[in-house]
Chains A and B, each alone.
Chain A
Amino acid sequence: MTVQPLLRVDDLHTEIRLRHGSVKAVDGLSLDILPGETLGVVGESGSGKTMLGLSIMRLLPPGGRITGGRILLDDEDVVGLPDKQMRRVRGGKIGYVFQDPMTSLNPTVPIGEQIAESVLLHQDVSKADARIRALEVLEQVGMPHAGERMSNYPHQLSGGLRQRVMIAVALAADPKLLIADEPTTALDVTIQEQILQLLDELRQSLGMAILLITHDLGVIASRANRVAVMYAGRVVEECDTASVFGNPRHPYTEALLAALPESAAAAHETLYSIPGLPPDLTDPPVGCRFAPRCRYATDECRASYPELTAGSKHRFACFHPTGSAAGEAMFTKATPVPIELLTTAPVQRATAEATPPKPLLQLSRLVKDFDVTSGALLQRRTGKLSAVSDVSFELAAGSTFGLVGESGCGKSTIGRLIVGLEHPTSGTITIDGRDTSRLHGRTGRDLRTMMQLMFQDPYASLDPRMTVGAIVREPLAIQRVGSKRDQQQQVLKLLDEVGLPRTAADRYPHEFSGGQRQRVGLARALAVSPKLVVADEPVSALDVSVQAQVLNLMVDLQKEHGLSYIFISHDLGVVRHVSDTIGVMYLGKLVEVGPADDVYRAPLHPYTKGLLDAIPIADPSVEATKDRLPIHGELPSAIHPPTGCRFRTRCPLAQDICADQEPLPVSVSGRLVACHFPLKVTPGAPCADAITESATDVLGNKPSPTTE
């Protein structure tokens, strides 16, 4: 390599001391960052990627320390640097962008001051000059009305703007390297797209290098020049982005890519899932850390650790690299057999499309407003927050309806309405022909058992003080199904079904990993043999490899029990994989409904299109050729939603009519779309080629007077 690396990490070892033992979070890691490039470091939680970033800054959490190796910044080893000099590196030479912009900014200091502090600490300037520089940087990161914003406090800004401030703080002192640790994980996809775009532009205009740390293969694929894949504290593969995604050599990289829902050849097909869990780093295995989960592993792998191949451009640490011709064939042809699954056969898609089955669930003109109150004695209603506005759809028995949208779009509220945790302001929810608003007494209890809820956070949804057995048995106990003995038998059966050992019954939730807890949640939901399971972001807290396990399990159980799912997620890729029908929500409105693949391939609503464009795909070739319809700006308030079409404030196609008339859902080629200017059904068609006739003309419907 002719270019001198800006930063060279050489055989880095970082340990975190715990109450008992210590975690070898980074264990013999080496990599280079070249000037002006974006190096993506990708890994699942616990892989040590964040500890790598914090080690470089020497900002490890209490108990953490660097136990070996060198970190060379411009040929200077920062590991042994005295504190005073280290402070010149922090912020001055390396800027750091943290994950959560809400907690990472000081809530009691105006943002201008926080940015100016970076300047003051590294440049010999007056306070006034530092402020001028702060304003300049704030403008540079695309803060609208930067001058007025200088005196704002972080809580007065939205998530996306806060992250811009965070970037400005990191950039203010002109660092040569920017470490961005999950910079967009806390943000919605459309905002994520804006932030990633900004980072890219800044890198080019300022000529700095970026170390982009993320768990999201899609983010890496779209933005990194080179990629380092981390597993259990080490780099297992490193090369330019196209090679890593196109020709992965390490089985872990290969498996990770295969586990993505987008990788499945067809929806509902069993995803490749990596069996087992990452190793315990307090006592890592001697050999290759991935060996226990690797399908190519041999005794050699278990006995010694393969070093990164030296010299060549494409480096990987494996004795049996894949990606050779043979490996490639194996990867694409043979459907990998996940060890934990009961079956590998693809699920039958909604059976017999000729005779449309009677809908199991019907939502009709569902509205949910939350009161916004103020006042001390009497809680006066001062406004309403329109969480769900006039939503109707049906769900056929045995099928899956995927509900997608960004945070705050009302998708979770719909889930809570269906299972009866909230009561609709107006409209009806009918299940099996019965209105759930009359959920009382005996019939109420019967109806309740037909619908169960699966939660997003596997940590919060299980009572920490109950054993897993008691948790799974709880619905049976509440519904008084059978004797206690029968119930216990049933619990064991359920644990078998979700692939948990029977011994799990006596253990407490905190002893399990996220994926295992989600299995417990599923077992609990299935205990009373429901017909419908509302799954609210069931996999978004899980790592990709574990996510695939849970998705597969859900699909299998659906087939076995004839379950219907409402699958709520912000992740279109996941939703498309499991769903028959997709509904896209925006600010309380259902803007588009249609068959999963159709919606995914050829979105009709500009918002759907924008959402799809914003989702980074783990395939650099796709990312490079994306024809984007960018969504600008941020989500408006649901207390005062925009008149007419609620999306118009961010829509690139919006015209006057969009503000005046609310678009009604109309049927376009077998799908429903609520837009005055739906897109053409040809995939990849230029955006401007929108169907120009107003939808009202097409169907002869009169738009209802706007309700706002």
Chain B
Amino acid sequence: MTLGPSRPSPAEPEPPGPELAGAPGADGAHRWRALRVFAENRLALVSAIFLIAVAAFCYLGPLLHHTDQIHTNLGTVNAPPGTQGHLLGTDDQGYDELGRLMIGGQTSLEVGVGAALLATAAGAVIGAFSGFFGGWLDGIVMRCVDGLLAIPTVFLLLLLAAIVTPTKLSLIVIIALISWLVTARLVRGEALTLRTRDFVSAARVMGSSTPRTVLRHIVPNSLSVIVVNATFQVADAILVLATLSFLGLGLPAPQTDLGGMLNNGMTYVYNGTWWVIWPAGVLIIAIVVAFNFIGDGLRDAFEVRLQRR
């Protein structure tokens, strides 16, 4: 599920120490400060490493662990872990569970990242445009955003999904179609405040054109907000995809995503076949948590960079 409201900002302020005038003799090291602060956030760093490992598992794993994820094998159904050739057992269609995790993970990551990128790009452009121009244009755009946000996500998704047949691409588009709203609202707010900042006024006094001002000043200064939001969007998109699968609107077999596997496995919850549920469940939770931690870490890193002016 996507978050309806924009996420609350944790904004953990730096201790308001005495102002230290004085230019530190930095020598390009400042470029790495944000990265360093990010790296100091151990939770975020561990999350990043974990996600890289997950990506390697999903994309490189199939090269080492060959499995058939297209044809069902009703001979070995719900085989427990350790069954020959099936490290994590098989599911109700006889697919190898470990191999299935890999392709399910691929789908989840691809749809998550794809939808987040699309939503962020669209939302950022519309939001920046709306916020910078303000006035009636802004009013119309924002009322439309409000209207779409008022329709609860899952209801809107079910309607949209009823219109379109689910493929990876169509799911990316559908999820993005709903997620851009939050980004747009956020970036618009950012543009609204940036518009009144002195350095934007300075650019206008110099004769800077509107597209130039938006491009050179508004967008780079909103970038941190955009990037942080994009990270959260990935996490939310993966959850939305899972929810869609649960509601029966996910990808048709033999394709699957982590949520689809989970939903599928839940049919057998009373049979004691834990391996068709828990690996997919834990993986999806871990991935979403990791993206959230990274988002938090990025936000802190950016804020520190701006505060240490």
| Chain B window 11-48, contacts with chain A (Cβ cutoff 8 Å), 1 for yes, 0 for no | 00011111111111010101000000000000000000
Q: Known contacts being A460-B199, A511-B30, is A18 close to B205, with CB within 8 Å?
A: no
A278 with B207, Cβ < 8 A, contacts A461-B202, A509-B309 known: no
The 0/1 profile, CB within 8 Å of A marked 1, for residues 129-140 of chain B is: 000000000000
Q: Does B206 contact A (CB under 8 A)?
A: yes
Contacts A46-B20, A475-B206, A513-B21 given; does A62 touch B15 at CB 8 Å: yes
Inter-chain contact B20/A280, CB cutoff 8 Å? yes
- In the complex, whether A683 has a CB less than 8 A from a CB of chain B is no
Most chain B CB within 10 A, of A463, A479, A507, A512, is at A463
Closest chain-A Cβ to B13's Cβ sits at a distance in Å of 9
B212 within 8 Å of A by Cβ?
yes
Contact A465 B220 (CB under 8 A): yes
Question: How far, in angstroms, from A62 to B15 measured CA to CA in the complex?
Answer: 5
Q: Which of A281, A463, A524 has a CB less than 8 Å from the CB of B221?
A: A463
Tell whether A464 pairs with B23 under 8 Å between CB atoms, given A23-B17, A51-B18, A479-B206.
no
CA of A510 to CA of B304 in the docked complex: distance in angstroms?
A: 11
Contact with B along A24-65 (1 / 0, CB 8 A): 010000000000000000000110101100000000011110
CB of B20 within 8 A of CB of A451, answer: no
Partner of A421, one of B22, B30, B201: B201
Residues of B within 8 A of A455 (CB): 198, 201-202
Q: Is B22 a contact of A278 with CB atoms below 8 Å?
A: yes
A448-B206, A464-B309, A524-B202 known; A512 vs B18 contact (CB < 8 Å): no
CB under 8 Å from chain A, chain B span 223-276: 223
Q: Are B21 and A510 in contact (CB under 8 A)?
A: no
Within 8 A of B (CB), among A212-258: none
Interface residues of B in 193-228 (CB under 8 A from A): 197-199, 201-208, 212, 216-217, 220-221, 223
**B308 contacts partner chain A, Cβ-Cβ < 8 Å:** yes
B144 within 8 A of A: no
Residue contact B197 to A460, C-beta cutoff 8 Å: yes
Contact A281 B202 (CB under 8 A): no
> Cβ of B282 < 8 Å from any Cβ of A?
no
Would A465 and B221 be within 8 Å (CB), given that A277-B21, A459-B309, A509-B309 are in contact?
yes
The answer on a CB contact under 8 Å between B205 and A419 is yes
In the complex, the answer to whether A510 meets B19 with C-beta atoms within 8 Å is: no
**A-B CB pair tally, cutoff 8 Å:** 130
Residue B306 lies at the interface, judged by CB distance under 8 Å to chain A: yes
Within 8 A of A (CB), among B143-170: none
Closest to B200 in A: A463
A632 beta carbon closer than 8 Å to chain B: no
* Cβ-defined contact, B199 with A463, below 8 A: yes
- Residues on B with C-beta less than 8 A from A543 are 21
- Whether B207 lies near A46 (C-beta < 8 A) is no
The proximity string for B residues 43-80 relative to A, scoring 1 for CB distances below 8 Å and 0 otherwise, is 00000000000000000000000000000000000000
Nearest chain A residue, comparing its CB with the CB of B17: A16
Q: Indicate if the CB atoms of B206 and A528 lie closer than 8 Å.
A: yes
B198 near A46 (CB under 8 angstroms)?
no
Q: Is A340 an interface residue (CB 8 A)?
A: no
Assess the B28–A511 pair: CB atoms within 8 A.
Answer: no
Question: Does A281 lie within 8 Å of B20, measured CB to CB?
Answer: yes
Residues of A within 8 A of B23 (CB): 277, 507, 511-513, 516
A421 CA / B20 CA spacing, docked (Å): 33
Within 8 Å by CB of B22, from A61, A280, A449, A475, lies A280
Most chain B CB within a 10 A radius of its CB, from A444, A449, A511: A511
A277 to B25, CA, bound (A): 14
Q: Report the interface size for chain A: residues with CB under 8 A from the other chain.
A: 63
With A453-B201, A461-B198 as known contacts, state yes or no: A16 contacts B18, CB within 8 Å: yes
Given known A46-B20, A277-B21, A510-B309, contact A448–B205 (CB-CB < 8 A): yes
Asked if B205 contacts A420 (CB within 8 A), the reply is yes
State whether A453 touches B202 (Cβ < 8 A): yes
A462 interface residue, CB < 8 Å from B?
yes
**Which residues of the other chain, B, contact A507 by a CB distance below 8 angstroms?**
23, 26, 30
What residue in chain A is nearest B206 (Cβ atoms)?
A475
| Cβ distance B36 to chain A, nearest Cβ, rounded Å | 10
The answer for the CA separation of A444 and B212 in the assembled complex, in Å, is 18
Q: Say whether A16 contacts B205, CB under 8 Å.
A: no
Interface residues of A in 269-328 (CB under 8 A from B): 277-282
Residues of A within 8 A of B21 (CB): 45-46, 277-278, 513-515, 543, 546
Which residue from B15, B20, B207, B221 sits with its C-beta under 8 Å from A448?
A: B207
Residue A1 is within 8 A (CB to CB) of chain B in the complex? no
Which A residues are in CB contact (< 8 Å) with B216? 463, 466, 474
CB-based nearest A residue for B220: A465
A11 within 8 Å of B by Cβ? no
* Contact of B15 with A18 in the complex, beta carbons under 8 Å: yes
Is there an interface contact between B15 and A461, defined as CB atoms closer than 8 Å?
A: no
Distance A516 CA – B24 CA, assembled complex (angstroms): 12
Out of B19, B28, B212, name the residue touching A478 (CB < 8 Å).
B212
B14 surroundings in chain A (CB, below 8 A): 18-19
Q: Is the CB of B15 within 8 A of A64?
A: yes
A457 at the interface (CB under 8 A from B): yes
- Chain A's closest residue to B207 (CB) is A448
> Which of B20, B212, B304 has the most C-beta atoms of chain A within 10 angstroms of its own C-beta?
B20
What's the nearest-Cβ distance from chain A to residue B164, in Å? 35
A452 on the interface (CB 8 Å rule)?
Answer: yes
Residues in chain A near residue B305, CB distance under 8 A = 510
Please give, as numbers and ranges, the residues of chain B lying within 8 Å of A74 by CB-CB distance: none
Chain A residues within an 8 Å CB radius of B201 = 416, 421, 453, 455, 461
Enumerate chain B residues within 8 angstroms of A416, measured Cβ to Cβ: 201
Distance in Å: Cβ of B104 to nearest Cβ of chain A: 40
Q: Say yes or no: A508-B20 contact (C-beta < 8 A), given A16-B15, A461-B202.
A: no
* Distance from B11 Cβ to chain A, minimum over Cβ atoms (Å): 14
Residue of B nearest to A512 (CB): B23
Q: Is A445 an interface residue (CB 8 A)?
A: yes
Answer yes or no: A149 CB below 8 A from chain B CBs: no
B40 to chain A, nearest CB (A): 8
Closest residue of A by beta carbon distance from B306: A464
Q: With the chains together, A553 CA to B14 CA distance in Å?
A: 34
Complex Cα gap A512–B25 (Å)? 10
Does A421 lie within 8 Å of B204, measured CB to CB?
yes
Contacts A451-B205, A455-B201 given; 5 further ones with Cβ under 8 A? Answer: A16-B15, A25-B18, A45-B21, A453-B202, A465-B223
What 10 A-B pairs come out closest when comparing CB atoms? Answer: A510-B309, A461-B198, A63-B15, A513-B21, A475-B206, A460-B198, A463-B199, A16-B17, A465-B220, A448-B207
19 CB-based A-B contacts, threshold 8 Å:
A16-B15, A25-B18, A48-B18, A277-B22, A281-B20, A455-B201, A461-B198, A461-B202, A463-B199, A464-B221, A465-B221, A466-B220, A474-B208, A513-B22, A513-B23, A514-B21, A521-B202, A528-B206, A546-B21
Residues on B facing A (Cβ under 8 Å): 14-24, 26, 28, 30, 197-199, 201-208, 212, 216-217, 220-221, 223, 304-306, 308-309
